[in-house]
Structure 1
């Protein structure tokens, strides 16, 4: 069972439990504006988390607690309001299992979570690595089986953008510590050593192996990468132009402590800038912790105002599926074109958004 919210406009996909969906890449925007795609790692590009020591089974199980919905009934017991996972509540009064009980690493083994056991096992099976173990390309799960380290849908996005000669950058952004391994895995893949993506050897993409850092405080945001240091002290445009100028694949560790000090709200989240007046470039952020509830969202979206001098913090809802995409991990596992479709829909929606902003 694949999970595609109806309001996202992605068709429901059924597939044989042993096969991932892989079809002809979806054409992207014919206007061919430059794309800067910011991507989270854990539960977006990776089905694991080094910091929390979650392997594929635990990561998928804990994700399911965030997309399954119910409530405490009058008898004080938990009852499900939907047997289908969804990114957002299926009805008024529904709360996620996670918000009530936390992220259980054995969720589908519990009395409550066993309802979703088949979804869990089907999607985990799709992530199984069938080639010989590789210390970068595969990861050993808690059950001793081998799994993909990076979701194939991520490689499909790169392949699609490259094949269509799009001008683009992939900006990996995480609070975690998996950047170095992920960037090294990309280096191996782009050198033709991934058994399923050997053709990517022909994609001569710039790749920055050393991760950078983004740190925030009340006065400014500072980005460092090697000898480069860019700050918003003189205005947010410095970082916006920096991200807009990037090419190929880079990675930055964002400031988790700042997010924590801001009660895990979007105000302390990963900084992200949008300029609706600049129609030749589009920034898109894809992260499983982007949520319509700003008090529980991970990206701080800031839109440049009309005169271009300052910015305004906007609610996630204003940019949802336009520049902000809440990762559907089940969809990303099931459909190798998932990220391509996300970008395609954002490009279509962004055209309307920029047109309205200029009225």
Structure 2
């Protein structure tokens, strides 16, 4: 995929604080070196939160989602249109975009349109996944080329690799054999990426799946956890940053991720070598919300003898900030769903606008984070009011100013095209926080307006 010609938005970087250079290793291989020259931001500990699907992974075994279905699902969330008076859907998008078309203020994503139609309770999301999972094979056929580009970027082996050539030959042969009974044998066929299970199990399933590999139903081998995530960890270690990582999901799909991450962090993957160990906590935590907005965390960290239950948000934030390694937390989907996906019941992260020299910086990456409508966003930026010893949701009016500071709408196109995507994104967020901390008036307005909304 050509990163210079992507139909998606690029990162905005400050050339004075951030330098990006291409250098060579002793063996001649090139690598990208990214340096953040802002000393203030480099002192802060990074509390990095990541959604799973379309942010770190495209598919997983728990939700029975294939890579092909995952790519389809992603596209429905970055293609825009609206429902006409007669109930029919009208497309506005001609290519994927995270941004709502400027000339169509009433537009919504096709994913949101289907979600509004289908999901009334949590169990309905299975039907939603099935509908979005076959998007380009049905009503979204006009967007097939974008699907094909993403599929190619996810393939485990590059086109020039001998294993890739062997795999493609087997896939093409099996595709022809499966279709021989339905079509004349002299017709040509290409490798299929459809969602339907093939008639015969591919012989490729007999092959050992390599570290961070994911073999789809038809035998195609893909990346499991997206490589840009591990590139970020390498960068953080190389620059001697203090950090902790949390997988934030509303499902039960974290354990496979944690197992796979531990193997890669143990230097079992030839493309990623780490010079520092990084502990992986295999026991996911749980965030719950009560109807009266009390947030609780149930979690066991390495230093704990038993499971901890915390209901004070200041203690929760402190516990999360003091940890190290990689952890997983399941957020409260039920609470979010019951409020029609209102941001104030979604995934919480914390920020104290009175602290002009914070020791930590929370950043959450999620493809469902948006600043368009309060009922279409999945990040709850919690204002930490030390005087009142109370936390409350930041007013949504300020979310456009806090985007790419505390929350980032993960861009799967760029994640796949640029392995330094997360490195650049984190640096951008740090620079933007530096600027925010210099704006005393804005910080005051954020706190006052957010407090008013609670009363």
TM-score (norm 1): 0.87
For residues 203 and 133 of structure 1, do their structure 2 counterparts lie closer, same or farther at Cα, with a shift above 3 Å needed? farther
**For 1:159 and 1:66, how far apart are their aligned partners in 2?**
30
Equivalent residue for 1:17? none
SS of structure 2 residue aligned to 1:90: coil
Farther off after superposition, 168-177 or 151-160: 168-177
Pairing partner for 1:254 from 315, 320, 331: 331
Which of 329, 352, 359 is the matching residue for 2:412? 329
1:2 matches 2:6: yes
Instruction: Give the alignment partner of residue 39 of structure 2, picking from 30, 41, 46.
Output: 30
The 2-side partners of 1:136 and 1:211 are apart by: 22
Per the alignment, residue 283 of structure 1 pairs with 362
Alpha-carbon distance, 1:327 to partner: 0.9
Q: Which residue of 1 is the match for residue 374 of structure 2? A: 294
Do the aligned residues in 1 keep the contact of 2:8 with 2:96 (CA within 8 Å)?
A: no
Distance 1:261 1:72 in 2: 24
**Offset at 1:246?**
1.5
Higher relative contact order (CA 8 A, sep 6+): 1
Q: How does 1:1-359 map to 2 (within 5 A)?
A: 2-5=6-9, 8-9=11-12, 23-28=31-36, 29-31=38-40, 32=42, 33-72=44-83, 78-91=89-102, 92-102=105-115, 104-110=132-138, 112-130=139-157, 133-134=208-209, 137-197=212-272, 199-200=273-274, 202-218=275-291, 220-226=294-300, 227-232=306-311, 235-276=312-353, 277=355, 278-292=357-371, 293-305=373-385, 307=387, 309-314=389-394, 315=396, 316-357=399-440
**Contact preservation (8 Å) 1:279, 1:354:** no
1:85 & 1:30 partners in 2: Cα distance? 37
Deviation (angstroms), 1:72:
4.4
Query: d(CA) in 1 for partners of 2:350 and 2:322?
Result: 13
- Alpha-carbon deviation of 1:30? 3.4
Q: Could you list the runs of 5+ residues in structure 2 that have no partner in the other structure?
A: 15-29, 116-130, 158-162, 164-206, 301-305, 445-455
Local SS of the residue matching 1:317: helix
Residue 83 of structure 1 and its aligned partner are, at CA, apart by 1.4
Q: Can you give the 5+ residue segments of structure 1 that lack an aligned partner in the other structure?
A: 12-21
How well do the aligned residues superpose, as a CA RMSD in angstroms?
Answer: 2.5
Instruction: Name the CA shift for 1:62/1:166 in 2 (closer, same or farther; >3 Å).
Output: same
Tell me the alpha carbon deviations over residues 84-128 of structure 1, each in whole angstroms, 9 at most, x when there is no partner: 211121122322222334552121222x42232111111111111
Q: Could you tell me how far apart the structure 1 residues matched to 2:268 and 2:348 are? A: 34
C-alpha distance in 1, partners of 2:428/2:208?
A: 36
The normalised TM-score by structure 2 is 0.70
Larger radius of gyration between Structure 1 and Structure 2: 2
Residues 1:263 and 1:93: Cα distance change in structure 2 (over 3 Å)? closer
Match in the other structure for 1:16: none
Distance across 1 between alignment mates of 2:256 and 2:250: 14
Structure 2 Cα separation of the partners of residues 308 and 283 of structure 1: 21
* Contact 1:3–1:328 (CA under 8 A) maintained in structure 2: no
Q: Displacement of 1:273 after TM fit?
A: 1.2
- Asked if structure 2 preserves the Cα contact closer than 8 Å seen for 1:211 and 1:252, the reply is yes
Deviations 1:252-277 (A, max 9, x none): 12222222222222122122211231
Name the CA distance, whole Å, in 2 between partners of 1:100 and 1:190. 39
